[in-house]
Amino acid sequence: MTHSAAASTHAAAPGTWNLGDLTVGRIGLGAMRLPGEGQADRDRAIAVLRRAVELGVDHIDTASFYFSAAHSANELINSALSPYPADLLIATKVGPGRDPSGDWYSASPGQLRGQVEENLRQLGRDHFDLVYLRRMSQPSISEHFGVLAELREAGLIRHLGVSNVDLAQLAEAQAIAPVVAVQNRFNLEVRVHDDVLGACAEQGIAFVPFYAIAGEAREQGYPARAELALDATVREVAAAHGASEAQIRLAWTMHQGPNMLAIPGTRRVEHLEENLAAGAIALGGDELAALEQASRREIYGTEIPETENPGSGAVA
Protein backbone atom coordinates (compact mmCIF):
# COMPACT_ATOMS: atom_id res chain seq x y z
CA MET A 1 0.00 0.00 0.00
CA THR A 2 1.36 3.41 -0.92
CA HIS A 3 1.14 6.14 1.68
CA SER A 4 1.73 9.88 1.54
CA ALA A 5 3.97 11.16 4.34
CA ALA A 6 3.38 14.37 6.23
CA ALA A 7 5.70 16.33 3.98
CA SER A 8 4.63 19.70 5.36
CA THR A 9 6.75 19.19 8.48
CA HIS A 10 9.44 17.10 6.81
CA ALA A 11 9.98 18.91 3.52
CA ALA A 12 13.32 17.96 1.99
CA ALA A 13 14.94 18.00 -1.41
CA PRO A 14 13.84 15.24 -3.81
CA GLY A 15 15.52 11.94 -2.97
CA THR A 16 16.12 12.94 0.66
CA TRP A 17 14.30 12.82 3.99
CA ASN A 18 14.67 14.78 7.21
CA LEU A 19 15.39 12.77 10.35
CA GLY A 20 14.73 15.47 12.89
CA ASP A 21 17.31 18.14 12.11
CA LEU A 22 19.39 15.82 9.89
CA THR A 23 18.83 15.24 6.17
CA VAL A 24 19.78 11.95 4.52
CA GLY A 25 19.46 10.36 1.11
CA ARG A 26 16.68 7.84 0.80
CA ILE A 27 18.97 4.93 -0.08
CA GLY A 28 21.68 4.16 2.44
CA LEU A 29 23.75 1.11 3.29
CA GLY A 30 23.06 -1.66 5.78
CA ALA A 31 26.21 -3.08 7.37
CA MET A 32 24.87 -6.52 8.34
CA ARG A 33 26.49 -8.32 5.42
CA LEU A 34 29.87 -6.62 5.60
CA PRO A 35 31.66 -8.94 8.08
CA GLY A 36 33.24 -11.92 6.34
CA GLU A 37 35.85 -14.46 7.26
CA GLY A 38 39.09 -13.65 5.46
CA GLN A 39 41.29 -10.79 4.27
CA ALA A 40 39.61 -10.79 0.87
CA ASP A 41 36.22 -10.30 2.54
CA ARG A 42 37.65 -7.48 4.63
CA ASP A 43 39.12 -5.77 1.57
CA ARG A 44 35.79 -6.02 -0.27
CA ALA A 45 33.89 -4.61 2.71
CA ILE A 46 36.29 -1.67 3.01
CA ALA A 47 35.93 -1.01 -0.73
CA VAL A 48 32.12 -1.07 -0.46
CA LEU A 49 32.11 1.43 2.41
CA ARG A 50 34.48 3.85 0.69
CA ARG A 51 32.68 3.59 -2.64
CA ALA A 52 29.35 4.19 -0.91
CA VAL A 53 30.57 7.49 0.52
CA GLU A 54 32.07 8.42 -2.86
CA LEU A 55 28.66 7.89 -4.43
CA GLY A 56 26.95 10.11 -1.87
CA VAL A 57 25.63 7.59 0.67
CA ASP A 58 25.16 9.50 3.92
CA HIS A 59 23.25 6.95 6.01
CA ILE A 60 24.85 3.73 7.27
CA ASP A 61 22.95 1.33 9.51
CA THR A 62 25.00 -0.92 11.78
CA ALA A 63 25.07 -2.72 15.15
CA SER A 64 27.69 -4.18 17.46
CA PHE A 65 26.06 -7.58 17.01
CA TYR A 66 26.96 -7.59 13.30
CA PHE A 67 30.15 -9.60 13.48
CA SER A 68 31.75 -12.79 12.19
CA ALA A 69 34.55 -14.83 13.74
CA ALA A 70 37.05 -12.55 11.98
CA HIS A 71 35.51 -9.10 11.58
CA SER A 72 32.89 -6.74 12.99
CA ALA A 73 30.82 -4.27 10.98
CA ASN A 74 31.63 -1.42 13.35
CA GLU A 75 35.36 -2.00 13.13
CA LEU A 76 35.15 -2.15 9.33
CA ILE A 77 33.24 1.14 9.23
CA ASN A 78 35.76 2.77 11.55
CA SER A 79 38.73 1.52 9.53
CA ALA A 80 37.24 2.52 6.18
CA LEU A 81 35.71 5.90 6.97
CA SER A 82 37.25 7.49 10.06
CA PRO A 83 37.66 10.43 10.27
CA TYR A 84 34.02 10.50 9.23
CA PRO A 85 32.48 12.92 6.74
CA ALA A 86 30.55 15.63 8.56
CA ASP A 87 27.29 14.73 6.81
CA LEU A 88 27.49 10.96 7.41
CA LEU A 89 24.72 9.64 9.68
CA ILE A 90 25.54 6.38 11.42
CA ALA A 91 22.64 4.57 13.07
CA THR A 92 22.86 1.60 15.38
CA LYS A 93 20.50 -0.77 17.16
CA VAL A 94 20.51 -1.92 20.78
CA GLY A 95 18.39 -4.42 22.66
CA PRO A 96 19.68 -7.66 21.17
CA GLY A 97 23.24 -8.64 21.91
CA ARG A 98 25.73 -11.39 21.15
CA ASP A 99 28.41 -12.64 23.47
CA PRO A 100 31.94 -13.33 22.12
CA SER A 101 30.90 -16.86 21.15
CA GLY A 102 28.07 -15.45 19.02
CA ASP A 103 25.20 -16.55 21.26
CA TRP A 104 22.28 -14.13 21.39
CA TYR A 105 20.81 -12.48 24.46
CA SER A 106 18.17 -9.84 25.09
CA ALA A 107 19.52 -6.86 27.03
CA SER A 108 17.91 -5.72 30.25
CA PRO A 109 17.25 -1.99 30.60
CA GLY A 110 20.35 -1.78 32.77
CA GLN A 111 22.51 -3.19 29.97
CA LEU A 112 21.44 -0.70 27.29
CA ARG A 113 23.88 2.08 28.19
CA GLY A 114 26.73 -0.42 27.97
CA GLN A 115 25.55 -1.48 24.52
CA VAL A 116 25.42 2.13 23.32
CA GLU A 117 28.89 2.81 24.72
CA GLU A 118 30.24 -0.38 23.13
CA ASN A 119 29.01 0.77 19.72
CA LEU A 120 30.56 4.21 20.27
CA ARG A 121 33.94 2.69 21.23
CA GLN A 122 33.98 0.39 18.23
CA LEU A 123 33.13 3.22 15.85
CA GLY A 124 35.35 5.81 17.50
CA ARG A 125 32.54 8.31 18.07
CA ASP A 126 31.38 10.36 21.03
CA HIS A 127 27.65 10.28 20.20
CA PHE A 128 25.17 8.68 17.81
CA ASP A 129 22.97 10.48 15.33
CA LEU A 130 20.32 7.75 15.60
CA VAL A 131 19.85 4.76 17.90
CA TYR A 132 17.02 2.25 17.53
CA LEU A 133 15.61 0.16 20.32
CA ARG A 134 15.23 -3.20 18.64
CA ARG A 135 12.40 -5.06 20.37
CA MET A 136 13.06 -8.72 20.99
CA SER A 137 10.14 -10.61 22.60
CA GLN A 138 9.01 -8.19 25.30
CA PRO A 139 5.42 -6.92 24.75
CA SER A 140 6.14 -3.55 26.42
CA ILE A 141 9.11 -1.39 25.47
CA SER A 142 8.55 1.54 27.84
CA GLU A 143 11.27 0.68 30.37
CA HIS A 144 13.89 0.00 27.70
CA PHE A 145 12.99 3.03 25.62
CA GLY A 146 13.03 5.21 28.72
CA VAL A 147 16.70 4.37 29.21
CA LEU A 148 17.50 5.50 25.66
CA ALA A 149 15.52 8.70 26.25
CA GLU A 150 17.75 9.38 29.26
CA LEU A 151 20.86 8.80 27.13
CA ARG A 152 19.45 11.25 24.62
CA GLU A 153 19.09 13.84 27.34
CA ALA A 154 22.68 13.09 28.40
CA GLY A 155 23.94 13.85 24.88
CA LEU A 156 25.02 10.33 23.84
CA ILE A 157 22.18 10.06 21.31
CA ARG A 158 20.79 12.73 19.00
CA HIS A 159 17.65 10.99 17.75
CA LEU A 160 15.72 7.85 18.69
CA GLY A 161 14.05 5.12 16.67
CA VAL A 162 12.34 1.80 17.31
CA SER A 163 12.55 -1.50 15.47
CA ASN A 164 10.39 -4.61 15.17
CA VAL A 165 7.38 -2.86 16.73
CA ASP A 166 3.63 -2.75 16.25
CA LEU A 167 1.38 0.29 16.50
CA ALA A 168 0.91 -0.02 20.27
CA GLN A 169 4.64 -0.24 20.91
CA LEU A 170 5.31 2.74 18.64
CA ALA A 171 2.77 4.75 20.63
CA GLU A 172 4.43 3.59 23.87
CA ALA A 173 7.76 4.98 22.71
CA GLN A 174 6.24 8.24 21.46
CA ALA A 175 4.71 8.87 24.88
CA ILE A 176 8.26 8.94 26.28
CA ALA A 177 10.33 10.74 23.61
CA PRO A 178 10.14 11.69 19.92
CA VAL A 179 10.61 8.85 17.43
CA VAL A 180 12.13 9.85 14.09
CA ALA A 181 12.38 6.40 12.47
CA VAL A 182 10.87 2.92 12.60
CA GLN A 183 12.87 -0.05 11.29
CA ASN A 184 10.62 -3.04 10.58
CA ARG A 185 10.68 -5.96 8.21
CA PHE A 186 8.91 -5.10 4.97
CA ASN A 187 9.06 -6.27 1.36
CA LEU A 188 6.85 -7.57 -1.42
CA GLU A 189 6.40 -10.89 0.40
CA VAL A 190 6.11 -9.58 3.96
CA ARG A 191 3.51 -6.87 4.60
CA VAL A 192 2.58 -7.44 8.24
CA HIS A 193 3.65 -3.89 9.07
CA ASP A 194 1.49 -2.10 6.49
CA ASP A 195 -0.39 -0.44 9.36
CA VAL A 196 2.83 0.80 10.96
CA LEU A 197 3.99 2.13 7.59
CA GLY A 198 0.70 4.00 7.28
CA ALA A 199 1.05 5.52 10.74
CA CYS A 200 4.62 6.60 10.02
CA ALA A 201 3.55 8.24 6.77
CA GLU A 202 0.76 10.15 8.48
CA GLN A 203 3.05 11.32 11.29
CA GLY A 204 6.12 12.16 9.21
CA ILE A 205 8.24 9.36 10.66
CA ALA A 206 10.82 7.61 8.50
CA PHE A 207 10.11 3.94 7.77
CA VAL A 208 13.30 1.92 7.27
CA PRO A 209 12.57 -1.58 5.94
CA PHE A 210 14.97 -4.43 6.54
CA TYR A 211 15.17 -7.46 4.24
CA ALA A 212 13.69 -5.24 1.51
CA ILE A 213 15.23 -7.32 -1.29
CA ALA A 214 13.45 -10.66 -1.59
CA GLY A 215 13.36 -11.59 2.07
CA GLU A 216 15.79 -12.71 4.73
CA ALA A 217 17.40 -15.64 2.92
CA ARG A 218 18.42 -13.70 -0.18
CA GLU A 219 19.41 -10.59 1.83
CA GLN A 220 21.86 -12.70 3.81
CA GLY A 221 23.30 -14.27 0.68
CA TYR A 222 21.88 -17.74 1.13
CA PRO A 223 20.64 -19.78 -1.86
CA ALA A 224 17.51 -18.31 -3.40
CA ARG A 225 14.24 -19.49 -1.93
CA ALA A 226 11.69 -21.44 -3.94
CA GLU A 227 10.24 -19.60 -6.92
CA LEU A 228 7.12 -17.60 -6.08
CA ALA A 229 4.40 -16.59 -8.51
CA LEU A 230 5.22 -13.00 -7.56
CA ASP A 231 8.69 -13.44 -9.04
CA ALA A 232 7.25 -13.65 -12.55
CA THR A 233 5.69 -10.20 -12.20
CA VAL A 234 8.91 -8.76 -10.80
CA ARG A 235 10.86 -10.34 -13.66
CA GLU A 236 8.48 -8.88 -16.26
CA VAL A 237 8.79 -5.36 -14.82
CA ALA A 238 12.57 -5.74 -14.58
CA ALA A 239 12.80 -6.71 -18.24
CA ALA A 240 10.80 -3.63 -19.24
CA HIS A 241 13.31 -1.39 -17.46
CA GLY A 242 16.48 -3.31 -18.33
CA ALA A 243 16.98 -3.71 -14.60
CA SER A 244 17.61 -6.57 -12.19
CA GLU A 245 14.86 -8.07 -10.07
CA ALA A 246 16.58 -6.73 -6.95
CA GLN A 247 16.50 -3.22 -8.41
CA ILE A 248 12.77 -3.48 -9.10
CA ARG A 249 12.12 -4.67 -5.55
CA LEU A 250 14.06 -1.69 -4.22
CA ALA A 251 12.31 0.68 -6.62
CA TRP A 252 8.93 -0.65 -5.45
CA THR A 253 10.01 -0.07 -1.86
CA MET A 254 10.96 3.54 -2.62
CA HIS A 255 7.58 4.11 -4.29
CA GLN A 256 5.76 3.28 -1.05
CA GLY A 257 6.19 6.83 0.19
CA PRO A 258 8.74 9.65 0.47
CA ASN A 259 9.44 8.62 4.08
CA MET A 260 10.83 5.23 2.97
CA LEU A 261 14.57 4.98 3.64
CA ALA A 262 16.09 1.82 2.20
CA ILE A 263 19.27 0.30 3.67
CA PRO A 264 20.13 -2.64 1.38
CA GLY A 265 23.23 -4.53 2.44
CA THR A 266 25.93 -5.98 0.24
CA ARG A 267 29.56 -7.06 0.27
CA ARG A 268 30.22 -6.17 -3.38
CA VAL A 269 30.78 -2.80 -5.00
CA GLU A 270 28.84 -3.76 -8.14
CA HIS A 271 25.76 -4.62 -6.08
CA LEU A 272 26.10 -1.37 -4.14
CA GLU A 273 26.09 0.57 -7.40
CA GLU A 274 23.05 -1.36 -8.65
CA ASN A 275 21.18 -0.69 -5.41
CA LEU A 276 21.84 3.04 -5.58
CA ALA A 277 20.81 3.15 -9.24
CA ALA A 278 17.44 1.63 -8.28
CA GLY A 279 16.49 4.97 -6.76
CA ALA A 280 16.26 6.44 -10.27
CA ILE A 281 13.84 3.79 -11.59
CA ALA A 282 10.40 5.33 -12.05
CA LEU A 283 7.72 2.64 -12.00
CA GLY A 284 4.53 3.42 -13.88
CA GLY A 285 1.08 3.21 -12.37
CA ASP A 286 0.26 -0.01 -14.22
CA GLU A 287 3.51 -1.59 -13.04
CA LEU A 288 2.88 -0.58 -9.43
CA ALA A 289 -0.66 -1.95 -9.68
CA ALA A 290 0.61 -5.26 -11.08
CA LEU A 291 3.23 -5.59 -8.33
CA GLU A 292 0.66 -4.70 -5.67
CA GLN A 293 -1.80 -7.30 -6.97
CA ALA A 294 0.90 -9.97 -7.17
CA SER A 295 2.07 -9.13 -3.66
CA ARG A 296 -1.46 -9.38 -2.26
CA ARG A 297 -2.07 -12.69 -4.04
CA GLU A 298 1.20 -14.08 -2.67
CA ILE A 299 0.53 -13.03 0.90
CA TYR A 300 -3.24 -13.22 1.26
CA GLY A 301 -4.32 -15.36 -1.66
CA THR A 302 -6.71 -12.63 -2.79
CA GLU A 303 -6.72 -9.64 -5.06
CA ILE A 304 -7.94 -6.14 -4.31
CA PRO A 305 -10.43 -4.39 -6.58
CA GLU A 306 -8.78 -2.29 -9.27
CA THR A 307 -10.61 0.85 -8.08
CA GLU A 308 -9.13 0.41 -4.60
CA ASN A 309 -5.60 -0.47 -5.70
CA PRO A 310 -3.30 1.94 -3.85
CA GLY A 311 -0.43 1.19 -6.21
CA SER A 312 -2.08 2.84 -9.20
CA GLY A 313 -0.42 6.10 -10.09
CA ALA A 314 1.74 6.18 -6.99
CA VAL A 315 4.89 8.23 -7.20
CA ALA A 316 7.62 8.39 -4.57
Catalytic residues: 66
Q: Are 28 and 59 in contact (CB under 8 A)?
A: yes
Among candidate residues 242, 211, 236, 243, the one with its CA nearest the CA of residue 289: 236
Longest dimension (CA), the chain: 55
* Residue 58 main-chain phi, psi, to 5 deg: -125, 20
Query: Long-range pairs for 40-45 at CB < 8 Å and ≥24 separation?
Result: 41/70, 41/71, 41/267, 42/70, 42/71, 42/76, 44/267, 44/268, 44/269, 45/71, 45/76, 45/80, 45/267
